[in-house]
Amino acid sequence: MKSKPAAVPGRALAGWLCAAALASAGCSDGPAEPPGFASGNGFGALPTVGPTIGPTIGDAGKTDGDGTPSSDTRGRSGDARTPEDGDPAQEDAGSVPEDADPVAADGGGPQADGAATRGGSDGPAPAPDGSSSAGDADDAGKDVAPGDTWADDLPWWQKPLPGEDASTVTGPDAGPVGSADVDDKTKATGLCQSSYTQTPVELTLGGGGKVDIIVFVDTSGSMSQETKWLKTNLNAFANYIQQKNIDFHLILIGSGTGAFDICIAPPLGGIGCTGNGANYWPVKKPVYSTDGLQKMVTYYPDYKPFLRADVAKNFVAVTDDNSSMSAVAFKAALAKLPLDPGFPNGFIMHGIYAFGPLANGCPTGAAKGTVYDTLVAETGGAKFQVCLADWTPIFPELAKGIIATAKAECTYAIQVPPGKVMIPSLVKVNHVDGENFIGLTKIANGAACQQTPNGWYFDDPTKPVTVTVCPTACNAFVGGKIAFNFGCI
């Protein structure tokens, strides 16, 4: 008599699902929920883990179309095997020969010895192959012939992947294809305990986010005092932004000699009026009264290496004159710049310039800055009066306006389960909100966010400590949790 393959234990399947959903949390074999299961684990309404898990695959009580028991043994609980060379009496006691018909010819006879039954005070009777029918009671009696689409009746956590042969499934896959909750190893090696952890979306390490700031300074003859005030306050301005945990890049465009020289002292500036290599980049080229906007376009190759693709772009105009380039022409010129990174998501314009009821905007203004007024109003920036005798109050308020544009950064510490060693290539990341999964795609770095807005990336691809989610996906999160799948480790 041919031996039958060992059935997958029902309780092993329950333990598998518990491990997949709760990582290292404890599980029980009883009907009670595991500790902490209902307290916001993030995976929504997974089944109660107990001796059975709803409908199972290949129930002992299922029959083929002719009334005979189905030969499908997948998912049966217990681990009884039919002995290959035991004595006949032993074989007859716990199993039915393959060519035997356990039902009487008229279809109304009693079940063969060992067939699964419902009810009875002594618990479920053994199935035809000797295995227990515990866990199959809810599905007993269903017809599941080879090729039947039994998977349509299963809950989502037990369905096979699209295009997968249902007969090869040995365990449930919790989640959609490609998500952090799919463990492909179950198909190749049987049941494995994937390791999962979660962290609330609010627990980001990214603080206030990132901004790029491009300041241009009119160094024409009427701006000597204003240039001095700018140099005096720029370190305090940068320090204010840094204290708010903002990752900023500051680009300062303009040059001159004597009173018009723009040299920013340390710590923002470097030795010899250079950049500091971290967050300050000077472009020492001239900007005159009315050509500030045009210079922002012309000098783009000089400052683009310091721009970043995934952050908000802020322009700051410092001038006492108007622009000879219109607001419409400026926006059109920026749009034509190459996306390296360019300005694909637009910009915010701020300014220290002349405005007000006077013809020249304010008493010491050369001309009213109507073009800057238009750009500030259209982009939601902040504006300040260039004619003020003291610029000290300007820079904290300007910093607040720029900070408000910063995109919050979704950066999370990787929570490796206790006693486990992470294999970076196996890690998958999802956003989980109840039963809703938002699939995230692994990318190389932040620059790839422009092509893959739902991406995530490691801080270090070989020894990662954190993962960062691209701004587009990050901004879409409203509550929920970041779920880490570490695979079978």
The DSSP annotation for 134-145 comes to TT-TTTTT-B--
pLDDT in the model for residue 355: 97
Q: What pLDDT sits at residue 209?
A: 77
The tokens for 323 are 């622009």
DSSP state of 260: G
pLDDT tens series, the chain, 489 aa? 444 444 444 444 344 433 444 444 444 444 443 333 333 333 333 333 333 333 333 343 444 444 444 444 333 333 434 444 444 444 444 444 444 444 333 444 434 343 333 334 444 444 444 444 444 444 444 444 444 444 455 544 444 555 544 443 333 333 443 444 444 444 444 567 788 899 888 777 766 678 999 999 998 888 888 888 898 899 999 999 988 888 899 999 998 777 677 899 999 999 888 998 899 999 999 999 999 999 999 999 999 999 998 788 999 999 999 999 999 999 999 999 998 999 988 999 999 999 999 999 999 999 999 999 999 999 999 999 999 999 999 999 999 999 888 866 788 999 999 999 999 999 999 999 887 888 899 999 988 988 999 999 999 999 999 999 988 888 778 778 999 999 988
Residue 472 has a pLDDT of 83
Orientation angle between helical segments 224-243 and 394-403, nearest 10 degrees: 50
Residue 466 confidence (pLDDT): 93
- Extract the tokens encoding 31: 């009907």
**Domain boundaries for CATH 3.40.50 within the chain:** 209-403
Cα angle 8-11-13, degrees, rounded to a multiple of 5: 55
Q: Is 420 within 8 Å of 195 (Cβ atoms)?
A: yes
Element of type H or E holding 196: strand 196-200
Domain 209-403: which topology? Answer: Rossmann fold (3.40.50)
Count other Cβ atoms within 10 Å, centred on residue 152: 8
Its pTM stands at 0.50
Beta-bridge partner residues of 457: 468
Where does 326-451 show beta strands of DSSP type E?
Answer: 348-353, 383-385, 410-413, 428-433, 436-439, 441-442
pLDDT of residue 261: 79
Residue 213's nearest CA partner among 320, 327, 351 is 351
Taking the CB of residue 443, how many other CB atoms lie within 10 A of it?
19
For the chain, the straight-line distance linking the first and the last C-alpha, in angstroms and rounded, comes to: 40
Distances from the Cα of 407 to the Cα of 194, 312, 383, angstroms = 34, 7, 21
Q: Which of 276, 218, 284, 283 shows the shortest CA–CA distance to 242?
A: 276
Distance, CA of 87 to CA of 45 (rounded, Å): 48
Rounded-to-integer distance, Cα 210 and Cα 3, Å: 65
Number of Cβ atoms within 10 Å of the Cβ of 258? 6
Decide if 363 contacts 381 (C-beta within 8 A). no
